[in-house]
Structure 1
Amino acid sequence: MRQKIVRLALVGGVVFLALLLLLATCGGGPGDGGTRDGAAPGTARPVLPGAGPVTRLTVPPQYTTDRGWEIIGASPDVAVSHATGLLAYLERPDANRYRLRTVDTATGELGWRGRAWRPPDTLNYPKLATVTKGDRQFFVTWSYGKAGDGLSPASTFLSLDLYDVTNGNRRRVEVPWSGAPDVHTTGPDIVISDAEANSTLVDPVTGEVSELSADELEYPKGCGACEQLTEVHGQAAEGLLLGGAREFWVRGGWFSRNVAPKGADRGSGVVTSVTPAQVLAKWTPARKTGRATTHELWAVHDAATGEVLTSVECHKPAIKPGHHPQAVLSPSGDYLIAGNLAFDLAAKKGHCFEDEDGAARLTLATVTDDGIAYGAENARDALEALSGGGLPVSMDFAGWTTDRLARDVRLPETETTGVGVFRWTDRKDRTRLIGYPRAR
């Protein structure tokens, strides 16, 4: 009888522990209830083994695969807060709802998570980015679609959710919008444009919405090209960053003609990409140099003043690309890459990777604070390089040298807190994110 009681007690203890584990893994967590979406960091780790063994991919030699963290079922987009070391991603609790989650990249511990919500477009993951204004930083998600009550015609709008990076507190902003929106999150405000000259600004701190129409843009005097194909490219500290068929300017601030790089045609500047602090622009060399027909001059401008930080010449492509490469900054902001261009902003030097015949066969996609960039030869763009296209390479800013990596090497999509974040798709078609620390 005594042995039977002991066995029952042991069974009861096992059941009790199993229930505790179930509650910790599947139960309510920060953001699942109450009046706020953010709370203390979660302790449940249903798919994060933490700093232990994870799936081993073939990666560049700068990283170790002996330990790390892993997320199963992540969104196509992720966002990183280098200030806090948090990475944000979206998960899909059911067919029509999404939830923002965070992970501490240094430890693999889950951070705060948001409450699940239904976006206007339920078929696709909302877009995700980071925006900074002053000393406040936010993860922002947005989705565009229709809403209606069945009694009146459905209206289209852009739904944005702004999450304070530090605690996950959420603010929702809905902006009526007609046509596919162009959303810029380089800050300080979120800029929504119609890919032309009309725009709406959303203050991420207050949620205040303001509109700016094309007739309020204040074109620079004497710039006829500014009024042709006018486009909103984002925002600088003093105002909107705008560009025309040629030349660009900041509303209420500087004008490209007055900050042209040395050796450039002052009336030829075109914005190609924007970061929170820089503008990457393409210029035509001055005719007197004799290189105007064969080369382009690429310059990195300070977004606040327009000052040229560094520049480099490249051959013109044989075929005009459909879109310009997007600029990518290292976490510290010391290095910038874009396609076959690389800039050491601290040393004020630039480099164009091209063959002797002018062909640009290298595309850079990721750059780290250690002065190492990753990309691929013969890849059409950074997205293809990160997806495994082309021949993977690494580039060292110390000597502008490149090294070919093994054909099956996966490239990090980003790096922060000394951890590279890699993406792959398993046999069940689930997207996985893996964090591997740098090898010591």
Structure 2
Amino acid sequence: MRQKIVRLTLVAGVLVLALLLLLATCGAGGSQDTKDADKPTKPVPTPTGPGPATQLTVPPAYTTQSGWELVNTSPDYAISRTTGRLGYLLRVADNQYRLETIDSETGKAGWKGGNWRPPASKHSPKLLLVTKNDVEYFVTWTYGKVGVNALTPADTIVSLDVYDVKDGARRRIEVPWSSAPSVIASGPDILISDGRTTSVVVDPATGRISKIAPSALKYPKDCPSCKQLTEVFGLTKKGLLVSGAREFWVQGGWFSRNVAPKNTDRTSGIPTTVAPGWVLAKWQLAKGQKPAKTHDLWAVHDAETGKPVATVECNKVAIKPGQYPQAVMSPSGGYLVAGNLAFDLTAKEGFCLEAPDGSKRLTLASVTDEGIAYGATSVRNATDALNGGGRPVAVEVVTGTPEGLPSNVRLPGAEAEAGVGVFRWTDELDRLHLLGYPRAPH
């Protein structure tokens, strides 16, 4: 009898335990959570200390034991050089966004902008950083129709929100625009271009809009190629940077023919990308130069004077790319990388990171103030490398020797001056995570 009682008690206990487990399971992952998973999740940065919840595999230069993490942000972010603030866009509701900031070193929350809606839901807003007169601004922009009843291209605009990095003071600027825009913030103003000869310059400090007519591009004399395939390419303190079929110039300033690097064809310069204060251009080597048939010369030019600061020869590509790699700067501006090119701007040296026969090309995605560049082989562009594609590598710029990393290593998309690498990762719910991992102690 006693044995039956004990057995009944045990059976009852098992049933109760099973019921409790079932209730706990329903509470942890039931239909309500599935419903809520589709809602925007507010990023909650974890301060430096115990480390982010997400532990990625990263290069050995960084540690995951401390840092911060943001969840469900947009892919774009920008880091202020003067304040160390990192700005990021947060989707707070359907087609509603807000710009928020954190301290890139500690993860501590900073100022927050107000909620706003882009003019078109199909165009996600972008985030840029521009500097004018030593004042930095976060710039969000999007393109679309003014209202639901807009019927013609004249009813479309480029919508800009310009925030003072220090205190978040916001200025809304709307520019009428009838075609897909290119928005460039390499400074000192914001450039909007149609990829040809129509452009608008916006002053981030005052909101003043200046439309530049094609007739005001000031074509150089005796340059027939300048009027072929003409494109407004960038902006300098002295005026627009303009490219023709084979030569380029600054509106009312310097002309590429007059600043061509030594041993090049002076009429062959083509700008490929711009960065604050710099222009990266490709040149054909002059006839008679031994490698002229197989190599091009790449030069980083000072955007204000046109003077070439650093150059390097590299194998010609078999097929001309539809778009050249974008230039990426180290936090303090001492290094510049683009594709398989790297430049030490302090030492005035350039490096072509490829095998002597042009094989095993790699694409660099970021570079640190210590001269360590990160990228991957067998990828189409830097975005693929940052998303985990190809074979990741680390390169010490001054030696030019790539060091292979484990295939599951995530690469930093940027590094703050405080030495915190910024990584991105998408989880199984298709939410983007931004993570800040500091450099590992030596």
- By the TM > 0.5 criterion, same fold? yes
Give SS of 1:324's match.
coil
TM-superposition CA deviations, 1:27-84 (whole Å, max 9, x none): xxxxxxxxxxxxxxxxxx9611211321111000000010110000110111111211
In our comparison, the structure showing a higher alpha carbon Rg is: 2
CA–CA distance in structure 1, aligned partners of residues 58 and 43 of structure 2: 25
State how 1:92-131 maps to structure 2 within 5 Å: 92-131=91-130
CA–CA distance in structure 2, aligned partners of residues 407 and 238 of structure 1: 45
Q: CA deviation at 1:293?
A: 2.3
Give SS of 1:229's match.
coil
Counterpart contact for 1:340–1:360, Cα < 8 Å: no
CA–CA distance in structure 1, aligned partners of residues 210 and 364 of structure 2: 37
Q: Taking structure 1 as reference, are residues 266 and 61 closer, same or farther at Cα in structure 2, changes over 3 Å only?
A: same
Counterpart contact for 1:241–1:249, Cα < 8 Å: yes
Question: How many residue pairs get matched?
Answer: 396
Given residue 232 of structure 1, which amino acid in structure 2 is its aligned partner?
Answer: V
Partner of 1:74: 73
Unaligned runs of 5+ in 1: 1-44
Partner of 1:271: 271
Give SS of 1:288's match.
coil
State how 1:210-249 maps to structure 2 within 5 Å: 210-249=210-249
CA–CA distance in structure 2, aligned partners of residues 421 and 373 of structure 1: 14
Residues 1:53 and 2:54 are matched in the alignment:
no
Unaligned runs of 5+ in 2: 1-41
CA–CA distance in structure 2, aligned partners of residues 193 and 311 of structure 1: 28
TM-superposition CA deviations, 1:214-236 (whole Å, max 9, x none): 11111001111111111011111
Q: CA deviation at 1:151?
A: 8.4
Residues 1:379 and 2:379 are matched in the alignment:
yes
CA–CA distance in structure 2, aligned partners of residues 312 and 166 of structure 1: 39
CA–CA distance in structure 1, aligned partners of residues 149 and 123 of structure 2: 22
Given residue 439 of structure 2, which amino acid in structure 1 is its aligned partner?
Answer: R
CA–CA distance in structure 1, aligned partners of residues 433 and 376 of structure 2: 21
Given residue 111 of structure 1, which amino acid in structure 2 is its aligned partner?
Answer: G
Partner of 1:197: 197
Partner of 2:427: 426
Counterpart contact for 1:98–1:125, Cα < 8 Å: no
Partner of 1:24: none
Q: CA deviation at 1:125?
A: 2.4
CA–CA distance in structure 2, aligned partners of residues 134 and 98 of structure 1: 29
Partner of 2:258: 258
Q: CA deviation at 1:149?
A: 6.0
CA–CA distance in structure 2, aligned partners of residues 150 and 425 of structure 1: 36
Q: CA deviation at 1:399?
A: 2.0
TM-score (norm 1): 0.88
Counterpart contact for 2:119–2:147, Cα < 8 Å: no
Counterpart contact for 1:284–1:296, Cα < 8 Å: yes
Counterpart contact for 2:328–2:337, Cα < 8 Å: yes
Q: CA deviation at 1:184?
A: 1.0
203-212 vs 82-91, which deviates more? 82-91
Give SS of 1:289's match.
coil
Give SS of 1:75's match.
strand
Partner of 1:296: 296
Partner of 1:90: 89
Identity of aligned residues (%): 57
